[in-house]
Amino acid sequence: MKRVDIKSYPFRIRHHILPVFVWLVAVLCVVGLFSRRAQRFEVLGMARGQVRQIAATCTGRLTDVYIDMFERVDAGQTLAVIDTVLDDERLVEAELRSQLDAAIAEIEHLTAQLVPTQDTLEAEKADREINFASEMRRFQVDADQARLQVLTLKVQIASDQVLLADLEAELKITEALLKEDAVAPYELQKVSTQYQSLARKVQENEKMLAQAERDLVLARQRIDDFAQHQLMHPSVDGALEVLRKEIRVQEELVHGLMKQLEALESRRVVELKAPVAGIVISIQGRANQTTLRRPGEDVIRRVGEVVQAGDSILAVAEFKPVEIVAYVSESQLGLVKESTPVEIIKSRPPEQKAQCEVDYIGPTMELMPEKLWRNPTVPQWGQPIVIKIPEGLELIAGELVGIRAL
């Protein structure tokens, strides 16, 4: 059996632990380097000048945008067009034109009526005289019929009263005979029924006679009242003047409708012009463009959409840059905050470096300008950040610079 040297045992342990210790230190260094590198970010930024927002001056439909992103524009250049006549106003315009056509047609119709009006009035005069005579005859016939009805009822009542008196006498005789058992009760009932029926008939005829006498009085009263009426024939001149007034009313209506249509035409198109010379950095009328929107700014508008007065349409940055806009990727989210120190690196001669802080961070991921895409055919998205250009750093609008966190 081999003898173990106890005195050399600690040395052997140290000999085996040393490589393990070195390896652990190396791993920790590597992890620290990667961790430090992950906490840093490097992105490209673009310098831009003071931004002038161009908003809609009235409510309307955005019909066209004449410029593209990052295009240079001159002060006073037309950038977009708004059609202020909306769909509901187009309906109003169509209604106005319909009313105008109707008014013109009415004027033509009234003018054509001036010539035959006199003949029509003469014919109406003759008709009124004929109708007056016809009405008078009708009233007289009504009175004659009422008088005949009165006479007929009087004769009928007188005849029935004679028969009623005979039946009354016969009823009394039958009652006396019945007491003496000379007739059967049936005979008394028969006579009594005839008497009551005739009595009711007389009463009804007397009511009808009273109504007929009232009708006769009313018929005679209508004749007297109608006879006192005098036929009134409107003058031809008066009728023609009425037509002329109606024509003048329609002419005034045509004048007012034409003024309203002219007002719609005069304000149909509103042009939005560049307030200053610069570079277009935001077009909110293009469906494929997105730009940094600070809190409170309007949402993106598309060509063809209705915009309200005050809605932001596009933005122009002046040639002299005042800030740098950059975008951080999803993997870099959370590595930058407002007031985070960064270093700006300008590679264009003369090369410059400057240290400053992040001034603003956008709330959402947005589509980056094409100029900042790594691959021109692959769109990129990022969280926008804004950095004010420090003093002494000479940049031109649209220039790309490197941004590195400190």
Is residue 321 within 8 Å of residue 399, measured between CB atoms? yes
pLDDT, tens digit (0-9, with 9 covering 90-100), for 344-366: 999 888 889 999 999 999 888 99
Collapsing DSSP to helix, strand or coil, 118 comes out as helix
- Which candidate, 353, 361, 366, places its Cα nearest to that of 336? 361
Q: Stretch 301-316: mean pLDDT, rounded?
A: 77
Sign of CA pseudo-dihedral 357, 359, 364, 366: negative
- Burial class of residue 291 (count of CB atoms within 10 Å of its CB; 0-12, 13-18, 19+): buried
Predicted pLDDT of residue 8: 52
Q: Distance (Å, rounded) from C-alpha 94 to C-alpha 318?
A: 44
Average pLDDT, the chain: 80
pLDDT at 343 over 70: yes
pLDDT, tens digit (0-9, with 9 covering 90-100), for 229-252: 766 666 667 777 888 888 888 888
Comparing 187 with 27, the larger pLDDT belongs to 187
Q: Can you say how many angstroms the Cα of residue 220 is from the centroid of all Cα atoms in its chain?
A: 65
- Which candidate, 28, 49, 71, places its Cα nearest to that of 388? 49
At residue 285 the predicted structure's pLDDT band, cuts being 50, 70 and 90, is very low
- Integer distance in angstroms from the first to the last C-alpha of the chain? 66
pLDDT, tens digit (0-9, with 9 covering 90-100), for 197-229: 888 988 998 899 899 889 889 988 888 888 887
Is residue 80 within 8 Å of residue 61, measured between CB atoms? no
- Which candidate, 387, 342, 121, places its Cα nearest to that of 234? 121
| H or E element in which residue 398 lies | none
Sign of CA pseudo-dihedral 352, 353, 356, 358: positive
Q: Distance (Å, rounded) from C-alpha 399 to C-alpha 48?
A: 8
Amino acid residing at 10: P
- Which candidate, 396, 386, 398, 280, places its Cα nearest to that of 327? 386
Q: Stretch 92-115: mean pLDDT, rounded?
A: 83
- Residue 341: CB partners within 8 Å, gap ≥ 6? 355, 356, 357, 405, 406
What is the model's pTM? Answer: 0.39
Selection from 32-41, 109-118, 327-336 with the highest mean pLDDT? 327-336
- What is the rounded radius of gyration, in angstroms, for the C-alpha atoms of the chain? 56
